[in-house]
């Protein structure tokens, strides 16, 4: 094969160029995304029932849906929640299950629910994953001063803006928030109803009876065929107000006689502001496989067009508040920058070792080819270009040079022996191709177990695995084909054989230093091989260091890296009963500190027109501004300069989304927000930085404790007790709960209407009519739908404004029964003021309280898990069991345990695969075991290196630099898998050469090992140093996105360094011991055969 390639170099060149062209095409066509697409495994069922209490939603919706959903095949977990007017069921399926199949099963289960109460919306079924989260956030506000209410623009925005955004190829959804939809409010006067002997139910029935068109079929008249319709739907409000409700004594009672129908809007449940000004928001979600960078530009182009046309005509402007694409763009730039720096450094190392421009050029030829091969591999496997896959490409640079170095160094060695370039190329490749094949296959095949890792980590690993594997496979082909061909053509024999090149003279200092280092290593090898005691001591010392590291120095683990976005997401949770106005008042107290810190001149996404639109509102009085100033000065942590500040209020909660101008100010911003939220008595606050891998509530570091039981009172009391204990045990932790901590009590004010059923029966009043009337008089009851052209608007019945101002006033309303008697409601009902819960959460069909614990940065997730299990839950396990409360651990802590368990099995499988591959190459079962001893050595070196790296990061503030800490997360653990395939490469060279020296050249054990060490020392050093220098920029140069792969780089870099030192210094001793044992056993066996 080698002879054929050397004889037909044009064919090889064309093949290489074709691969490069395909790689270039792939690089431009593979979608660019923030993170790898994570398969959706969560399906959410959302059902709206306006005006319904959590208690009714639980019994009428959740219990009915759970009855059928719980039997779905493959369902792992079902989380339900009932809140005011809304039911949510989150269904979690196993990794790898086809999401379309799961959607079909969910929809089939929901179709079996017999019925829902009146005016319950059709359940919405949504499949989601982290990679499909919203990635662009806009606000819409008036261009200048405007008397209109921005929230009343929701219907227009949904019809004109939302639809145009969702038509953009690659957009999945555009979610509109902060507005109120149109409604027709029919305000009834209870006294007029009673005077005419009518009830609310009569009005409802009259409206529904009239408001429909009836098809009458068709008829033939002469030569024509006519379709017949009976028209009944209301055409306008006048038509509705003139509706005849009843006929009394020859007079018609119309709707306008007992009330008035008028256009209005639904009750505001959300209040949203951007930099202090009330706005509406639109968040954009992408489709799977969409290119986020080009998609971002398409969205911005569409928004610019809307701002010039439709929005301008409406007096509105749409502004980009924040987007996650900037993070991936900066992260990609950082990776590419580090990739280029690593390439240059690796090439310079080649130059220093080879001292030949021609040889260096030949060795570096494969770098761009292997990079393009990585993109080709990503394209063929259906992956994307993202921060993780680009990191894989960058990691592959040093590894791809390994094969090239082995091939090139052996060719140059043969050239130095006086051979022609042709003979040197042929002989050099023939000698080392088995070692190249073995090292390549072990590096590639160790990634095979990743296929069986189904958690999120496995899906993230696959991008790195594919990028590295494609590059390594191409590097093998380059090493055994392109390098010998290039060596035959352009290798400068004079530089190699005679060392008389100009470059060799210029690098005489480094050459002298390198030769001195090589001589020391060879002298140490000779010294250690002189005595068996030295060999045993070296092996035992290495074994002790390795075992000590593996059993005592392994740090506590984290789950996934957070993807450190600059944005901060904070929530303020109020006790039950806080209405919208109360939350707005709290917002006025807090918002000024943040709004005034937004530096509009540095907000790059604001154009002049938008900057003018986002003026600081003048709604604040001087007194409020002074109060804000005083409160701001009272806090220890100042608010840093901000790029954006968004606030959202709803009854009982407030949410801030705030972004500093500098990402380094994010920890300070979290502290500042927490201080201000915690200063409000009776509240519970929660603040965390955004994450590209999970929800923005600390998902990758969340430790959830689920308490399940039947009695809510007991459940809530125990949950509050555990929260208080957790706050003491884990100082500085962020604590939250679902339901939220302030609602973990029966403290939601509630009025229970208790009918007198006997009296109602005497008057002929049904429960349905009575309940509907009370609903209408209190919060408004749904009647029917009103159509204006193709616009559908809900109609609701209300009492006339001012009629009912408190629950007690319901008793004074007059009610007219079917038998003609007119009675006050107090004769039919009694009102009982009580308290209940504002939210009901359920997991797998049981009422549940989920405690969310996010440990402080100085405590790893695994350490926090041990504290929770041993110090928090263990002392209370008996008490919980007696109260029929069960507890489980979920969240990131649970996923960490599952991932580590899966990784352990896959790690052992990778070791077995690597071992069997080397058995096949060496045709021996024992020698590969010698090579595999470097695996635990490399792993211990990676662990030691991670500790040294974090120790150095902790010392940086001493020199005025920012401290850093690399967590031991599951992406970092992938470095161990990479090490299996890389640390064995150097031992393969020495073991293979030593065996050949003994078997083929009949050298003594000492001579064979020393000759192998001498011959392979240079390629081992070259491959190790090039890989280290290629990885160094990824490890030591900070930037956005580096936190995702830095830990992986640290493990591989230090693991390879440590294993290479052991390979050169200790492996000869181990080889000598094993060869001597083998020789003694062989001699003893021969002596037994000779002895009669």
Question: Residue 890: in which H helix or E strand, if any?
Answer: strand 886-891
Cα distance between residue 20 and residue 525, in whole Å = 44
Cβ–Cβ under 8 Å, residues 561 and 460:
no
- pLDDT of residue 709 exceeding 80, the answer is yes
- Residue-level pLDDT at 801: 76
Cα distance between residue 136 and residue 285, in whole Å = 7
Q: What is the DSSP letter of 32?
A: B
Residues in the chain: 1092
Least confident range from 416-425, 487-496, 935-944: namely 487-496
- Residue-level pLDDT at 622: 45
> 3-state class of 739 per DSSP?
coil
Smallest CA-to-CA distance from 321 within 151, 134, 501, 498 is with: 134
Q: What is the DSSP letter of 557?
A: B
Q: What is the DSSP letter of 112?
A: T
Cα distance between residue 710 and residue 846, in whole Å = 7
Cα distance between residue 670 and residue 688, in whole Å = 7
- pLDDT of residue 629 exceeding 60, the answer is no
When pLDDT is cut at 50, 70 and 90, the band that residue 697 belongs to is low
Smallest CA-to-CA distance from 150 within 765, 617, 571 is with: 617
Residue ranges of domains in the chain, CATH in brackets: 39-128 (3.30.70.1430), 183-265+748-836 (3.30.2090.10), 337-552+924-1087 (1.20.1640.10), 697-746+837-898 (3.30.70.260)
Cα 688 to chain center, whole Å? 14
Q: What is the mean pLDDT of residues 437-447?
A: 81
**Model pLDDT for residues 793-845, shown as the tens digit of each residue:** 989 998 887 667 777 777 777 777 666 677 788 888 888 888 778 788 999 98
Query: Can you give the pTM of this predicted structure?
Result: 0.81
- Residue-level pLDDT at 956: 84
Smallest CA-to-CA distance from 1065 within 398, 537, 405 is with: 537
Q: What is the mean pLDDT of residues 1034-1038?
A: 86
Q: Strands, DSSP E only, in 93-205? A: 124-128, 134-142, 171-177, 182-188
**Model pLDDT for residues 45-95, shown as the tens digit of each residue:** 999 988 888 889 999 999 999 999 999 998 988 999 998 889 999 998 887
Rounded to 5 degrees, what are φ and ψ at 284? Answer: -110, 130
User: What is the dihedral sign for C-alpha 815, 821, 826, 831?
Assistant: negative
How many angstroms separate the first and last alpha carbons of the chain? 51
Which residues have a Cβ under 8 Å from the Cβ of 312 and sit 6 or more positions away? Answer: 143
Cβ–Cβ under 8 Å, residues 316 and 156:
no
**Model pLDDT for residues 341-352, shown as the tens digit of each residue:** 888 888 888 888
**Model pLDDT for residues 943-985, shown as the tens digit of each residue:** 999 999 999 988 888 887 777 888 998 888 888 888 887 888 8
Cα distance between residue 151 and residue 279, in whole Å = 8
- Residue-level pLDDT at 515: 79
- Which of the two residues, 312 and 606, has the higher pLDDT score? 312
Maximum distance among all Cα pairs of the chain, rounded to whole angstroms: 136
- Residue-level pLDDT at 1021: 87
- pLDDT of residue 387 exceeding 90, the answer is no
- Taking residue 67's Cβ as centre, other Cβ atoms within 10 Å add up to 14
Cα distance between residue 347 and residue 631, in whole Å = 58
- Taking residue 484's Cβ as centre, other Cβ atoms within 10 Å add up to 29
**Model pLDDT for residues 219-247, shown as the tens digit of each residue:** 888 888 888 888 889 989 999 999 999 98
Cα distance between residue 681 and residue 589, in whole Å = 13
Mean pLDDT of the chain: 84
Question: Residue 265: in which H helix or E strand, if any?
Answer: strand 259-265
- Residue-level pLDDT at 262: 93
User: What is the dihedral sign for C-alpha 351, 354, 355, 359?
Assistant: negative
**Model pLDDT for residues 728-751, shown as the tens digit of each residue:** 999 888 888 887 776 677 777 788
Q: What is the mean pLDDT of residues 553-575?
A: 84
> 3-state class of 219 per DSSP?
strand
Asked if the peptide bond before residue 17 counts as cis, ω within 30 degrees of 0, the response is no
Residue 536 CA neighbour count, 13 Å, CB half = 5
When pLDDT is cut at 50, 70 and 90, the band that residue 1089 belongs to is low
- pLDDT of residue 301 exceeding 80, the answer is yes
- Residue-level pLDDT at 198: 86
User: Angle CA(366)–CA(369)–CA(370) in degrees, nearest 5?
Assistant: 80
- Residue-level pLDDT at 624: 45
- Residue-level pLDDT at 1057: 92
Lookup: tokens for 240: 């509705």
Least confident range from 207-211, 348-352, 672-676, 1004-1008: namely 348-352
Smallest CA-to-CA distance from 24 within 364, 375, 269 is with: 375
Cα distance between residue 887 and residue 706, in whole Å = 5
Rounded to 5 degrees, what are φ and ψ at 659? Answer: -130, 125
When pLDDT is cut at 50, 70 and 90, the band that residue 865 belongs to is very high
């Amino acid at each position: 094969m080698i002879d054929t390639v050397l004889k037909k170099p044009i064919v090889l060149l064309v093949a290489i160029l074709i691969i490069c062209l395909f790689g270039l095409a792939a690089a431009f066509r593979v979608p660019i995304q923030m993170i790898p697409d994570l398969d959706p495994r969560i399906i959410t069922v959302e059902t709206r029932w306006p005006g319904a209490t959590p208690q009714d939603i639980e019994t009428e919706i959740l219990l009915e849906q759970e009855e059928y959903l719980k039997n779905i095949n493959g369902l792992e977990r079902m989380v339900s929640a009932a809140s005011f007017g809304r039911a949510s069921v989150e269904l979690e399926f196993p990794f790898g299950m086809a999401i379309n199949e799961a959607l079909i099963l969910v929809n089939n289960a929901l179709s079996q629910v017999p019925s829902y109460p009146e005016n319950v919306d059709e359940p919405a079924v949504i499949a989601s994953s982290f990679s499909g989260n919203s990635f662009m956030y806009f606000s819409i506000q008036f261009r200048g001063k405007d008397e209109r209410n921005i929230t009343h623009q929701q219907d227009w925005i949904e019809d004109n803006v939302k639809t145009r955004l969702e038509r953009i190829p690659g957009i999945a959804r555009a979610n509109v928030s902060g507005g109120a939809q149109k409604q027709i409010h029919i305000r009834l006067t209870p006294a007029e109803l009673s005077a005419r002997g009518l009830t609310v139910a009569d009005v409802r029935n009259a409206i529904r009876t009239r408001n429909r068109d009836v098809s009458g079929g068709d008829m033939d008249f002469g030569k024509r065929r006519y379709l017949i319709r009976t028209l009944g739907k209301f055409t306008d409000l006048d038509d509705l107000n003139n509706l005849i409700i009843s006929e009394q004594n020859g007079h018609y009672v119309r709707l306008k006689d007992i009330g008035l129908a008028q256009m209005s809007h639904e009750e505001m449940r959300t209040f949203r502001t951007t930099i202090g000004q009330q706005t509406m928001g639109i968040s954009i979600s992408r489709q799977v496989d969409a290119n986020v960078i080009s998609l971002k530009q398409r969205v911005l182009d569409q928004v610019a067009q809307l701002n010039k046309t439709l929005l301008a005509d409406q007096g509105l402007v749409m502004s980009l508040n924040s987007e996650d694409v900037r993070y991936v763009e900066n992260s990609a730039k950082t990776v590419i920058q580090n990739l280029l720096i690593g390439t240059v450094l690796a090439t310079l190392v080649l130059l220093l070792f080879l001292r030949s421009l021609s040889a260096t050029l030949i060795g570096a030829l494969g770098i761009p080819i292997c990079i393009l091969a990585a993109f080709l591999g990503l394209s063929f496997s259906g992956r994307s270009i993202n921060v993780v896959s680009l990191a894989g490409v960058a990691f592959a640079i040093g590894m791809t040079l390994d094969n090239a170095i082995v091939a090139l160094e052996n060719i140059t060695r043969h050239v130095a022996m006086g051979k022609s370039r042709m003979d040197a190329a042929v002989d050099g490749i023939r000698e080392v191709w088995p070692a190249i094949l073995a090292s390549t296959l072990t590096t590639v095949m160790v990634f095979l177990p990743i296929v069986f890792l189904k958690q999120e980590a496995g899906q993230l690993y696959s991008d790195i695995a594919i990028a590295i594997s494609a590059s390594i496979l191409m590097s093998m082909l380059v090493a055994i084909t392109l390098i010998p061909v290039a060596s035959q053509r352009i290798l400068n024999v004079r530089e190699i054989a005679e060392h008389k090149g100009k470059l060799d003279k210029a690098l005489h200092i480094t050459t002298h230093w390198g030769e001195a280092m090589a001589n020391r290593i060879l002298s140490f090898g000779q010294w250690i091989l002189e005595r068996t005691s030295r060999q045993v001591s070296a092996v035992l010392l290495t074994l002790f260091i390795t075992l000590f590291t593996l059993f005592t120095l392994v740090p506590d683990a984290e789950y996934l890296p957070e993807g450190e976005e600059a944005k901060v997401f904070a929530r303020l949770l109020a006790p039950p009963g806080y209405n919208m106005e109360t939350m707005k008042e709290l917002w006025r107290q807090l918002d000024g500190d943040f709004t005034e810190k937004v530096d509009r001149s540095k907000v790059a996404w604001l154009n002049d027109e938008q900057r003018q639109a986002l003026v600081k509102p003048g709604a604040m009085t001087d007194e409020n501004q002074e109060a804000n100033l005083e409160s701001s000065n009272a806090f220890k942590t100042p608010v840093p300069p901000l790029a954006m500040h968004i606030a959202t209020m709803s009854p009982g909660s407030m949410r801030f989304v705030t972004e500093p101008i500098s990402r380094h100010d994010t920890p300070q911003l979290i502290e500042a927000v927490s201080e201000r939220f915690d200063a409000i008595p009776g509240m519970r606050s929660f603040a965390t930085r955004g994450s590209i891998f999970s929800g923005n509530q600390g998902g990758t570091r969340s430790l959830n404790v689920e308490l399940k039981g039947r009695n809510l009172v007991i459940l809530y009391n125990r949950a509050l007790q555990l929260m208080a204990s957790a706050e003491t045990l884990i100082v500085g932790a962020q604590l939250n709960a679902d339901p939220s901590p302030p609602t973990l009590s029966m403290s939601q004010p509630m009025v229970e209407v208790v009918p007198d059923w006997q009296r109602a029966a005497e008057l002929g009043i049904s429960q349905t009519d009575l309940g509907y009337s009370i609903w209408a008089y209190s919060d408004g009851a749904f009647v029917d739908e009103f159509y204006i052209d193709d616009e559908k608007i809900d109609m609701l019945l209300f009492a006339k404004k001012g009629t009912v101002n408190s629950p007690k006033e319901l008793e004074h309303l007059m009610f007219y029964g079917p038998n003609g008697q007119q009675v006050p409601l107090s004769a039919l009902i009694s009102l009982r003021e009580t308290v209940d819960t504002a939210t009901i959460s359920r997991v797998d069909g049981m009422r549940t309280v989920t405690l969310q614990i996010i440990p402080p940065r100085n405590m790893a997730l695994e350490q926090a898990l041990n504290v929770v299990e041993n110090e928090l839950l263990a002392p209370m396990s008996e008490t919980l069991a007696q109260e029929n409360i069960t507890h489980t651990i979920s969240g990131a802590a649970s996923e960490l345990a599952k991932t580590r368990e899966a990784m352990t099995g896959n790690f052992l499988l990778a070791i077995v695969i690597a071992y069997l591959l080397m058995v096949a190459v060496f045709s021996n079962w024992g020698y590969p075991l010698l090579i595999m001893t470097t695996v635990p050595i490399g792993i211990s070196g990676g662990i030691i290196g991670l500790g040294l790296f974090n120790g150095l990061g902790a010392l940086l503030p001493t020199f005025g630099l920012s401290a850093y800490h690399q967590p031991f997360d599951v992406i970092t653990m992938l470095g161990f898998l990479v090490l299996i395939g890389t640390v064995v490469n150097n031992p393969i060279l020495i073991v293979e050469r030593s065996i050949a020296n003994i078997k083929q050249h009949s050298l003594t054990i000492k001579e064979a090992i020393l000759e192998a060490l001498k011959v392979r020392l240079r390629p081992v050093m070259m491959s190790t140093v090039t890989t280290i220098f290629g990885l160094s920029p990824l490890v030591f140069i900070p930037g956005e996105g580096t936190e995702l792969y830095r830990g992986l780089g640290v493990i591989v870099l230090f693991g390879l360094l440590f294993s290479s030192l052991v390979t050169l210094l200790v492996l000869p001793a181990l080889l000598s011991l094993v060869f001597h044992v083998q020789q003694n056993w062989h001699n003893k066996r021969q002596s037994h055969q000779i002895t009669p």
